[in-house]
Amino acid sequence: MPRESTKTITENRQVRHEYFIVESFEAGIELAGTEVKSIRVHGANLKDSWCDIDHGELFVKQMHISPYEKGNIFNKDPIRPRRLLMHKREILRLFGLVKQQGYTLIPVSLYFKGSNVKVQVGLCKGKKLHDKRDDMAKRDAQRDIARAMKESRR
């Protein structure tokens, strides 16, 4: 059985700085034809986007997909809410976690799986200021170690 290839379109790098990602899910996304064409030429941005559950359906909001330059009247609003496709059971479980325990749903990455566009949605918990400082200190220490190792090889 041949494996489906995945090709990352865009990532929301700010998520890993602002939140702890507790769990991640793969979801399909409902797009118009010109939106898919625009994504193929790298016209998508996940910065400041978030997910919301409305009437038992999962939506991604504030995700920007640039209008397709050759799409004329068929182009959609660049930041319109887009429905994410997941099983109803998963959506209800996420709804319970988000409402009761203070989690939030954030799109982490957008990628092609085969010919389909998929979204990796993270179930996230916000970081406090001291958590961010700890992460920055760890990154700095790793960078110093890597620099020292590189110099010792010379």
Distance (Å, whole) CA 72 – CA 70? 6
- pTM of the model as a whole: 0.78
Strand partners, 54: 57
* Amino acid 17: pLDDT: 84
User: Residue 15: which of 110, 91, 127, 111 has the closest Cα?
Assistant: 127
Distance (Å, whole) CA 154 – CA 148? 10
Q: Where are the domains of the chain?
A: 6-128
Q: Which two tokens stand for residue 125?
A: 């918990």
Per-residue pLDDT of the chain (154 residues; tens, 9 = 90+): 456 788 888 898 888 888 889 999 999 999 888 888 888 887 788 998 989 999 989 999 999 888 887 777 777 778 889 999 999 999 999 998 888 887 899 999 999 998 889 999 999 988 888 878 888 888 899 999 999 988 887 7
- According to DSSP, residue 62 is labeled S
Homologous superfamily assigned to 6-128: Small protein B (2.40.280.10)
* Amino acid 126: pLDDT: 84
Q: Which residue type is seen at 46? A: L
Helices marked H in 3-128 = 14-18, 33-40, 88-101
